[in-house]
Amino acid sequence: MLLPIAGKPLILHTIDRASEAATIGRVIVATDDARIFDVVREAGVEAAMTSPEHASGSDRIAEVAGGLPADSIVVNIQGDEPVIPAATIDAAVQALLANSAAQMASTFEHFDNANEVMDPNAVKIVTDPDGRAIYFSRSPIPFPREAALEYGSLEAALIAEPSLVGQFKKHTGLYVYRREYLLEFTRLARTPIEETEMLEQMRAVENGAVIVAVKAAGRSIGVDTAADLESVRKILEDKAAGA
């Protein structure tokens, strides 16, 4: 979060992206790290120190959301997403606002290649014809059975027919909640599929929540590795140089 990129810590770039979104009225950084808290406050941005005992980002966000006004819309942007497009944030918020039956909204991108599809760290999302999320998985779903039989395996089919890659949706880590549902969600017990897949969002699905999923406006990069850091550093330094 504090690694330098184009003259300032990574977390401040993520704050910039959130602030650029037209639908965002208030930005709060929720953290249990005093170093991050101090850097954010020194930059003039609101920050909240939260419990170090939280099991997930949703729990941490919910602690802060408990003090927000009733009927707030809460957007959970992961701090390590310094190039997330503001248009993606706006699209997700607007999708939730447009669907009174929905409790949550999230986003997806399309995969680029077979290796990404087969990677269990790249979570797949399946949606119904109305754009509602019906399942999240680390496995490649929906499974193209006939193509896999023809080529002997799914991976071989994806390589032989690259167009198959386009049928998979890669879930990205932006969530928009109605405040009251977020507070309810974090009080729910963990569910069987959630624990099997180790995917927190399956708790919402298993409990019948309506989650609308929208296509991201552009690529984002979560900074999990040194290679990720260099990728976003190049993007943001090039942007700064061209400004």
39-96 per-position pLDDT tens digit: 999 999 999 999 999 989 999 999 999 999 999 999 999 999 999 999 999 999 999 9
Region 107-112: mean pLDDT is: 95
Going by C-alpha positions, the residue among 29, 215, 21, 179 that lies closest to residue 104 is 179
pLDDT tens digits for range 24-52: 999 999 999 999 999 999 999 999 999 99
State residue 243's pLDDT score: 58
- The pLDDT assigned to 104 comes to 98
Q: Which two tokens stand for residue 197?
A: 């897949």
Residues 92 and 107: beta-carbon distance below 8 Å: yes
Cβ atoms of 114 and 155 within 8 Å: the answer is yes
Superfamily of domain 4-242: Spore Coat Polysaccharide Biosynthesis Protein SpsA; Chain A (3.90.550.10)
Instruction: For residues 65 and 77, give the distance between their C-alpha atoms in angstroms, rounded to a whole number.
Output: 14
Distances (CA, A) of 70 to 28, 67, 94, 179, 229: 17, 9, 19, 7, 37
Query: Helix 10-20 and helix 226-242: axis angle, to 10°?
Result: 60
